[in-house]
Structure 1
């Protein structure tokens, strides 16, 4: 899911055993809003080491390296990754092929866009 406030808690309230995976792409986009354009390329190179790590332990190590390098310059960005880490890191328990499917909500959003395109002009549905 994307980073809507209160949504993870609402889902957990209805489905307590659910593991929440926030959209990595939304987190990256939110992060880049606070990184100077001249630093974005280098920052993204370092950030990829976090979310493309082979496992959670390596990702956490790379997150620490990211904090050491960029934490003083962009503390809000690093804090955001750390505070959301619980919901950003569940996908590391899956294989790389499955991770590619679940690290973003783009596929779901695309499906919803197609449904809206088809249904927006319908006054009602017939059987």
Structure 2
């Protein structure tokens, strides 16, 4: 998946120094959070066999059941992410 250069320019327009990118509320931390959450949502879609807000298969008896928070540690410090869960999780 390609990232649109115009979107990057728009997001960087308010940043004046490298610290603005990597500080506590910086762009890189927010992008990391969103990327991790999107990856977990995609994994849940694959696991359940249908996308969010689509009617699921009645055969599995499993469906999305909200999300919970988890703190992950990375290069940019700690990041709180929303982890999706399903009713039939083990």
Question: What TM-score does the superposition give when structure 2 sets the normalisation length?
Answer: 0.33
Task: Report 1 or 2 for greater relative contact order, CA contacts < 8 Å, sequence distance ≥ 6.
Answer: 1
Question: What TM-score does the superposition give when structure 1 sets the normalisation length?
Answer: 0.26
Report the structure, 1 or 2, having the larger helix content.
Answer: 1
